[in-house]
Homo-oligomer: A and B are copies of this chain.
Amino acid sequence: MYPSKMTNAHGVENSVLLADIGNTYFHIYNGSEIEHLSYEEAIRKYSKEALCYISVKQQLDSTIANISLWKNISKEIQLQGAYETMGVDRRALCLSHDDGIFVDAGSAITVDIMQNGEYIGGFILPGLKAMLQAYSSISPVLDTELNETISLAQLPATTKDGISYGIIASIKALIDKHSDGKKLYFTGGDGKLLSSFFEEATYDEMLVFNGMRKALKATSR
């Protein structure tokens, strides 16, 4: 699903590395593809290169601030209508298009709605892994894996399917309720899987980076 090759038509911001530092992974776009690295790997590999980043991983702030070639561009990610504590990755994701529903399915699943370039609101669900852990924390009987091809057309009749259905169908029911003809965009580690349960959905790993580039372009004018 990686874009084959980026042209430089997007301007200077394409020449630096872009990083989206999430709750679990470091996502780096190098102009042609996206790498998903651990924090340690990312710092080891890229600390000697110029890089613009956004981060929701507050625990890393002081470590990263010491890397002189890395620039925090969170303040440049301006999203009209956003609320104060809204994560910067969600802001960047929403900036990628003026209209639509934006689902980032990572450690958490965020669902945000944009209309005419303005942020309308959104909600947060635990990610698929955190959901499975929540079940297993309740009882060993509920400790199971996700049935990734669960049918939503019929009610389940096993514990594993009852859990898989509970996770997927509840997310889908709430997103569907808000769809209202809007285009549906997915990104994040579980975005492709989750998008497979919707009839018309776009999965695109570049959305957050596209939002970052759009913000950089706007501020460089």
Binding site for B on A (CB under 8 A): 23, 56, 58, 83, 85-87, 107-108, 110-111, 113, 120-127, 130-131, 133-135, 137-142, 154-159, 162-163, 165-166, 169-171, 173-174, 176-178
Contact = CB atoms under 8 A, between A and B. Distances in A.
Contacts of A138: 23, 107-108, 126-127, 130
Nearest to A159: B85
A131 B165 CA distance: 16
Contact of A169 (B87, B166, B169, B174): B174
A124 to B, nearest CB: 4
A145 to B, nearest CB: 14
A124 B162 contact: yes
Complex A-B, nearest 8 residue pairs according to Cβ-Cβ distance, in ascending order: A121-B155, A173-B173, A126-B134, A134-B134, A170-B170, A123-B166, A130-B134, A170-B174
Contacts of A108: 135, 138-139, 142
From A83, A159, A174, residue with most partner B Cβ within 10 Å? A174
B177 A173 contact: yes
Given A124-B162, A170-B174, 18 more contacts: A58-B141, A83-B157, A107-B138, A108-B138, A108-B139, A113-B155, A120-B155, A121-B154, A121-B155, A124-B135, A124-B142, A126-B135, A127-B138, A130-B135, A130-B137, A130-B138, A170-B170, A170-B171
B124 A133 contact: no
A123 B23 contact: no
